[in-house]
Structure 1
């Protein structure tokens, strides 16, 4: 069985490395705080003095670090991973970092005959401890297939995203969308409660509706955006515009700020002025595509298969 090195044993790295060790891998570890390594050392891991020493002793070396500055320093700096890496071994960065950086790092490792993958994770500290993590991997597909058993040791949803940097792009997009959606939810909840609805009742209405089931992500965009088809409408843009306009009107009545919702209303109005009122409300994505200079198309994805992910909770009706 391969020897696994792990650098960065904090909130995320501590849990992930523990699960790798539980899977039976021999481990070499390093952290600036030696006490963070104690649980692994008690389980038989060896403590290294530098990241270079970890890489020199490992077939696969992981880093789990706070951000781009630390990733660059640990991977390329003095006594860093690159200095100790052996030909044929693999360096995998689990950090949420800059895609451009991992794409700059990879050729330097390739010049030494080593391989690089970026594999940021989603699931938080609890998921890292339990192994309930999504792992988004970028890099050579054959290398991914080789190391997947180790990734499976700490992630229950391991995905191959594409070439080097694709994992990091996917993670940043995932978190960006998540934080934006959270803001929109916060706007809606504050409006609803201030307008007289009890928080729990409002929450139940939202989570059991189309939004809570995330139909727009699992099924709606698969049928429309992925195919470039916005007719016939499932829910027409003019009806969506009417609803969001009524909501922002209510917000003004109750003095509730709605920055995300107001922007969405203006985008919908722009699409209406393009003559798209009778098209599916998802037609607004075409404005974003035009301004970005890219079309998001994946017509091979089956909407029926995608839709099966909608009801994932046992109490969904």
Structure 2
């Protein structure tokens, strides 16, 4: 492995520091549409530009860090016939499981495996070496590419079969983006109400308050275990939600995420869950045929 070059496609904001980390431990081949980035990689860690797919004939590990699923699929169509049997492609781009499976379908006839190695971090964490990878795919393929994965990030979580790592990344991003809207709304309400924003941040950062506890207690301890007795009932949570909506209305602060979330509590109360702990909103998804916990969890 140490003698075989690692190919990296995509030297953008995330791809370049990723390639740089790999380049500290392995000879590298790189490709990017931006010639300046290729020159930068050549000068920084002696990377060799990839000029044609045939350059990959001795490459055992290929890393993709591209801007879209379509870009990944198009590239795999080009390079698949030129990779040696037993090679592994690491898909670090943000894609959905369907794209990972489509990529594997392209590679399979050539005896090449694909592993989703989604990056759970921002550019700063990749540069600092504190990024994490969400892995999915066959264990034996991961083992063959393990030294390269370790060069990218030492923290790795195996989520399961092919596509599971990609799904975990997309879900993580969806949560982060939705929470960002809630945080923006909370900040607007706090400012309008004269609440000190730094103190509000400290309050919400507390493990017992509004950001951490719904995940670490109500999802982990109540929803996963199906325990909805006691606690704050949905009726009480719904009442508090009404107060939040009234406060925002009085302050003239537009709400989107918080307001739409209130509808879920209305539906849960109408479904007869009013006396259950407010984590029981999860029962609605089960009623709709989309349980929030797998059988046996």
TM over 0.5: yes
Aligned residue runs from structure 1 range 212-231, under 5 A:
214-231=212-229
1:312: which partner in 2?
A: none
1:95-151 Cα deviation digits (max 9, x unpaired) = 112321221120221111111112221211112222221211221122113322311
CA contact (8 A) 2:235 2:274 kept: yes
Give 2:144's match in structure 1, choosing from 140, 143, 146.
146
CA contact (8 A) 2:5 2:60 kept: yes
Structure 1 unaligned residues grouped into runs of 5+ = 301-317
2:9: which partner in 1?
A: 7
1:252: which partner in 2?
A: 249
Q: How much is the aligned-residue C-alpha RMSD, in angstroms?
A: 1.9
Call closer, same or farther: CA 1:218–1:160 in 2, change over 3 Å. same
Shift in Å, 1:288 = 2.2
1:280: which partner in 2?
A: 277
CA contact (8 A) 1:136 1:167 kept: yes
TM-score of the two chains, using structure 2 as the length reference: 0.92
SS in 2 for 1:296: coil
CA contact (8 A) 1:241 1:265 kept: yes
Shift in Å, 1:211 = 3.9
TM-score of the two chains, using structure 1 as the length reference: 0.86
2:96: which partner in 1?
A: 98
SS in 2 for 1:159: strand
Shift in Å, 1:66 = 0.3
Determine the C-alpha separation between the residues in 2 that align with 1:159 and 1:298. 22
SS in 2 for 1:95: coil
1:212-267 Cα deviation digits (max 9, x unpaired) = 66122223211122122212x33322222222111111111111111211222121
2:111: which partner in 1?
A: 113
1:31: which partner in 2?
A: 32
SS in 1 for 2:153: coil
Call closer, same or farther: CA 1:152–1:292 in 2, change over 3 Å. farther
Number of residue equivalences? 294
